[in-house]
């Protein structure tokens, strides 16, 4: 979702020669297939295929694999996106080879060092030569950390580029009908963060809260492979039921299904009453679409979605989840507004800046 607008913008600049490297950190074949097809991203020129492993194992594999690629291809610039292990690993490897690095989505901070992503962000940003930011919070974070202002470029949000490009196509799908739901009369949900799913007590408490909500509105929950694994590991299957086993119209309950492609899920949540999530990207997308979003985390690296958008932090506190959901169901929620430069042109701005740097 983050690389697609950049590739599109680079393809419009014939002087730019680029290669797409997929590390394989996100290795679920179904999810990969959906995203590459939905977003019309070309097949990667290079696939490291690193697969699963601990953070250290994954990072090490990515560093070893990317070093071989960088030594062979000798790029002038490496562009990394987001905050995953691949982002940090490729940055460290490139810089040790004296290759310049650009970070797209730089400066985001949760100030929570228990999050692996926060460590990745900090390590990446201190090393990069070009830091492309999404909002004023990110700019302030980088400057407060001593980053030179001439490295920081406020360009907007590439996630929103992808959203704007595909929203009209997604509107035509009516995915909610497949589940026997009716528009605006269900809740869409995602959940996969370790802080929510790796502790049995926390996870069961969240499901207890969700059951209260699901008595009024069914919850449709495309389940991440990690979450599915933990639910079965903890014996919490009774909290959920498979949407494939329903009969007739979707009724009260927490209904699970396999992961959806980008377009299908976009259609699902844009027609929901509200969204429950612990995902960063959904906080941004719901803000642009004006959909109420309850984020089940104590903090967010995207505070602009709380300041200007439709996002409300509820943590994993059952009482707060229930109260805030009830408020929304009663029509009491903030409408929000779209942050500056979230206009679908971030990828173009990034490539324009880099073109001037390397081809002027």
- The closest of 272, 42, 174 to 282, measured between CA atoms, is 272
Catalytic annotation on 103? Answer: no
How buried is 206 (Cβ within 10 angstroms: 0-12 exposed, 13-18 middle, 19+ buried)?
A: buried
Q: Tokens 């994954």 correspond to what residue?
A: 58
| 275 in Cβ contact with 295 (< 8 Å) | no
What pairing do the DSSP bridges indicate for beta strands 274-277 and 293-295?
parallel
Range 326-360 burial, b when 16+ CB lie within 10 A, else e: eebbeeebeebeebebbebbbbbbbbeebeeeeee
Mapping DSSP to helix (H, G, I), strand (E, B) and coil, where does residue 145 land?
A: coil
Beta-strand ranges (E) seen in 233-272 are 241-242, 254-257
**Residue tagged 């960088």 (tokens):** 70
Query: In 20-52, which positions are buried (b, 16+ CB within 10 angstroms) versus exposed (e)?
Result: bbbbbbebeeebeebbbebbebeebebebebee
C-alpha distance across the termini of the chain, in Å? 29
How far is 298 from 58, CA to CA, in rounded Å?
A: 27
Q: Which of 18, 136, 192, 212 is catalytic?
A: 192
53 contacts 47 by C-beta, under 8 angstroms: no
Phi, psi of 154 (to 5 degrees): -85, 110
Distances (CA, A) of 30 to 24, 34, 35: 13, 6, 9
Give the helix/strand (H/E) hosting 131: strand 130-133
- Kindly state the DSSP code that residue 147 receives in the 8-state scheme: -
Q: Tokens 């590739």: give the residue.
A: 7
Q: Which sequence positions are flagged as catalytic?
A: 192
């Amino acid at each position: 979702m983050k690389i697609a607008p950049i590739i599109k913008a680079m393809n419009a600049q014939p002087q730019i020669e680029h290669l797409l490297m997929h590390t394989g950190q996100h290795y679920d074949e179904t999810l990969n297939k959906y995203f590459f097809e939905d977003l019309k991203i070309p097949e990667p020129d290079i696939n490291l295929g690193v697969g699963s492993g601990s953070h250290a194992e994954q990072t090490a594999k990515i560093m070893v694999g990317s070093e071989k690629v960088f030594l062979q291809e000798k790029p002038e610039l490496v562009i990394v996106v987001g905050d995953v292990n691949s982002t940090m690993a490729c940055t460290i490897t490139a810089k040790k080879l004296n290759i310049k690095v650009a970070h797209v989505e730089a400066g985001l901070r949760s100030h929570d060092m228990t999050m692996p992503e926060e460590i990745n962000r900090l390590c990446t940003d201190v090393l990069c030569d070009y830091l492309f930011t999404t909002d004023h919070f990110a700019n302030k974070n980088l400057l407060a950390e001593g980053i030179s202002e001439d490295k920081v470029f406020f360009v907007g949000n590439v996630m929103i580029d992808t959203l704007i490009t595909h929203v009209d196509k997604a509107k035509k799908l009516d995915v909610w009908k497949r589940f026997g739901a009716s528009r605006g009369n269900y809740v869409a949900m995602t959940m996969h963060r370790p802080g929510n799913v790796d502790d049995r007590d926390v996870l069961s408490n969240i499901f207890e809260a969700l059951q209260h909500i699901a008595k009024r509105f069914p919850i449709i929950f495309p389940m991440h492979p990690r979450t599915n694994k933990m639910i079965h590991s903890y014996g919490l299957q009774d909290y959920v039921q498979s949407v494939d086993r329903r009969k007739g119209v979707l009724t009260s309950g927490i209904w699970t299904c396999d992961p959806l492609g980008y377009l299908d899920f976009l259609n699902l949540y844009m027609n929901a009453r509200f969204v429950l999530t612990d995902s960063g990207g959904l906080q941004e997308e719901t803000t642009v679409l004006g959909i109420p979003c309850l984020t089940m985390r104590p903090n967010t690296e995207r505070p602009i979605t709380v300041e200007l958008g439709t996002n409300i932090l509820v943590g994993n506190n059952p009482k707060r989840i229930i109260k805030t959901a009830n408020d929304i169901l009663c029509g009491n929620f903030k409408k929000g507004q779209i942050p500056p430069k979230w206009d679908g042109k971030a990828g173009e701005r990034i490539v324009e800046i880099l073109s001037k740097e390397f081809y002027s």
